[in-house]
Structure formats: C-alpha cells, structure tokens
Amino acid sequence: MDDHLRGAPVGVLEVNEDGIIAAANDAVRDTLVTDSPVGDALSDAFPQSVEDPLRAAFADESIDETDFEQYYPGPDKWLSVTVVPGETTAAVYVADVTDRRRREQAMSRLRAERDRTAVVEGVLADVLRGLVGAQSRDEIADAICAAFGAAELFTVAWVGERAVDGDELEVRAAADDTERTFDAVRDALADSEQTPEEVAVDTGQLEVRQELPENPEVPRPVRRAAFADGVQSALAIPLRYGSNVHGVVGVYTDEFDTVSERERTSFETLGEVAGFAVTAARNRSLLLSDTVTEVVFDVSDTALASLSRRADTTLSLDGLVAEQADELLCYVSADDANAAAVAAAAEETAGITRGRVVGADPSSRLELAVTGKTPLVTVTSLGGTVRAAEFESGSGRLVVELPASSDVRRMVHAVTREYDVSVTAKREREHSVSTSREFRDEVGDELTERQETVLRTAYFADYFESPRGSTAEEVGDSLDITGSTLLHHLRTGQRKLLDAYFEADGERQ
C-alpha cells in the first residue's frame, strides 16, 4: 500500500484473491474498531450486517465492483463501502457516515412529524367546525368520526361512552377502514378486557399505545388484528369537561412511531372541546325543554356536608363557578352562624382548600374552594341544573333538574357509581321557558327609569368597551350628573341585570 493510501482519511483495505486482508491503513482501526486486521479473512474482520452486500461482492471467483451504505449493529455505525477490483487484489474503501445518516434520519422524522401534525390540526379544525352545528351527543360523535375518517392518516376512529346500567363502554359512532382491528376492539369491550379506551375513561388522560402488535398493554386479539391490518398505534382521547369524562375517542393508525408534545396537546384539546360540546348540548336541551325531570339526591361524605357538621350549621348553596378543572367555587349561606367562624372551619375541612367571607356583615355569604370530584360538578356536566342544595349535620340534599328527553338513568347511574348518594325522589314537572322579549320585560320592571337611562346612555357611549369610548365623567356630563352618581346608578343597574340573568339560569336559589 503506498503512502498516499496509508494517510487517507478513510479506511483502506487491500484484499487478495483468497479474501485475506494484505494491508490496511491506520484509519481502519477507528472505523472498524479493530487493532490490526492484516492477515485476517475479510469476513472475520469486517462487522456483519443484515444484507451483507460486502460478502456478496467477494462470493464469486471474480470480485464485483460495488458501492453501498449499510448499517452495522456491532459497532453501531453506518458505513459507506466501495469495492474496486484490481488485477490481483481489491481495494476496499470504508468511511464512517453515521453522523450524516443520523442527521438525515432526524430531518426525515421532523418532516414526517410536521406533515403529520398538519393533518392532526386539520382534523381538529374539521371537528371544531362539525361541533358548531351539533345539537346532540349523536351529532357530536358523528362529527368526530367523520373528521377522522376523512383523513388518510387514520384507519379507525370511534366514539364510546359508558353503558347506562354498567361500566362497560358502548360504541356510539365509528369510522372503520380495517378488516379486523375494530371488530377485535368491539369483542374486547364485550369481553370486559382493558382496552386503551377503558383506561382513558377511568383516568381522564390521553392514552397512547405504540408498537401495537407487540404491546402487552393491549388485549391479545387486538394485537393480532392490528398486525394483520398493519396498524401500528392507538390513541384514546377522553371527552372531558372539568373533572368529568363523558366518553372517549379511540383512534388507530398505521403511523405514529412517536407522538410529539404538540400532537399530544392537539388531541387533548380535541377531547376538552368535544367534552364541552357534550355538556353544552345537554344544557341546551334543559333550557329549551317544556317539561323537566326533577331528581332529589341524599348525599354524604362530601366536603360541604363535612363542613356543616364541623361548623354545626346549615349550609345553603347560592351558586357554583367551575374556576379550574379540579376546583369548584361554591357560594353558600350559613344559617344562624358567624360567617368568619364557618370560613375558619372550612380551612380545616378535607376537600376545601380555602374559604373567605364575601362582604362585611357577620352573616354574609361565603366563598369556598372545593377540590376533587363532587356530585355538584357531575350532575351539571351531565346536563343537570342544581336547583337547590342544602347541607346539615354531615349530610346533604340536592335537587337536580334534567330535560325530560334526557337519559335520566345514565345520570343517576353515573352519580351513584362515583359517590355515596341515594335517590329519594324523581318527578316530572312543567318548565317555564322565557322568550328574550319576556326576559327584557322582566328586567325592565326591576330597573327604575333613571337606572335604565344611565345604562342605555353608558352603553351607546361605549363606556363598557375596552378601551372605553367615553369616561364616567363624560357620560355623567351628558346626563348632568356627577361621575360618582353615575357609577352608583351603573352598579345598581348592573346588579339587577345580573340577578335576573343568573336567577333565570338557575344559578341562584
């Protein structure tokens, strides 16, 4: 081997007709991770690969000229190999191209992830458009499946929810482009096997199962069917609103070797938006219903019930605000009790993170932050409205209204499955539905002429815009009153408007 080849930056081997290495330069040691291959058979000195094209080049009596790049698992390297036959020997040039190949693979993954993310976000946009006009749970489920079914990336999409009288999942809608996988999922549900969708409903979290045919967290029949259909991954997206899970979307695909954080966020957003849509559809049904079903629950072992016992008082619920997914603001009144003392007792009650008195009067309303699951949230998320709630001596009574067309059994089963409650009464009654004109007339009867004038003037003067089109002083000058007088009338009028709105919406008793 001449000096030029010995100093070459790539590995160079001279191999004789018998396949024995006659010479090698220094670069070979680093490239092939060997001390000195001289005198060894090429087949022994060179690492093995799956296809082994180098050995194929030396397999016949004549050496074939060849050029290839191959991954070698022994040294964990990508090698570029060129074989150049000579009269009596062959030169084998070997270069380590691992860094370049890994950069190319990383770029390829990024491009695939970008394209896949675009598809996912497109599906999310289609779902959102479909949900805008959806009026029922069936229409919501159909919109979700239609959006996933239209994307070639996904082979199966189905929406399920708990059975009325059991814990098993039932299929509400589906889009299936496989021969076996979805049927296997259905069978697994019927056999009470734990599918990813079951886990998602139980935990309220997005569940991802990759390498589906070998994944032990997936029922064996589903794994076999996925292998036959070429399905690689499954995602289970909970349809949740707050702390309550309405159902699940099961999605199967022949891609998704990994799920990026952005894709995960998109799927979680889809579940939350769809969960909100289910809640909104149920609430809309109650709002427009002429008759309602009233269900009375006796409850115990809840934070408010415990507080009533600790503070030795009766607590009446005035309103609810779902501030966060895991926190509920409850506004309550305490009978014959010092509000400050009840707030102090709330700080020591499990399930209540803080309490404060609203106002300066000793008998003022209290604001209590309740964490964790509570039947108050469950009944509202399932389309019910809490018309009254009272807690005394460690127990409570909830009066809940649902539209007569709703699935009362499903709501009752969901509440009794999760909490220590019992149904004590159920009855139907007429439900008064106010038109917008009737609502305005009712509000108009409550406002004084001066209050209505101040509100109307401030409204058309863009006082309520941001930024304001007029200041309080400018609106006051228009009415020939001071700014402080204007603010007094505005606060009084706004309070009456809010009273009418929230009382009509069932938020206050």
pTM exceeding the 0.85 threshold for the entire prediction: no
Cβ neighbours of residue 273 under 8 Å, at least 6 residues apart?
127, 128, 131
Lowest-confidence region among 150-159, 332-341, 400-409: 400-409
pLDDT band of 21, cuts 50, 70, 90: confident
What angle in degrees, to the nearest 10, is found between the helix axes of 449-460 and 483-504?
A: 100
Tell me: the pLDDT tens digits for 305-331? 999 999 999 999 988 876 565 678 888
Q: What beta strand segments (E) does 254-372 contain?
A: 291-300, 314-324, 327-334, 352-358, 365-371
Q: Does residue 369 or residue 381 have the better pLDDT?
A: 369
Summary mean pLDDT of the chain:
85
- Give CA–CA dist 308/325, Å, rounded: 25
Comparing C-alpha atoms, which of 480, 490, 481 is closest to residue 447? 490
Region of 52 on the Ramachandran plot (φ > 0 left; ψ -120 to 50 alpha; else beta): left
Proportion of the chain above pLDDT 70, given as a percent: 91
pLDDT band of 420, cuts 50, 70, 90: confident
Q: Does residue 101 or residue 416 have the better pLDDT?
A: 101
Q: Are 391 and 304 in contact (CB under 8 A)?
A: yes
Tell me: the pLDDT tens digits for 284-293? 665 555 678 8
- Reading the block at residue 328, the tokens are 């509920």
Proportion of the chain above pLDDT 90, given as a percent: 33
487 exposure class (CB count in 10 Å sphere: 0-12, 13-18, 19+): middle
233 exposure class (CB count in 10 Å sphere: 0-12, 13-18, 19+): buried
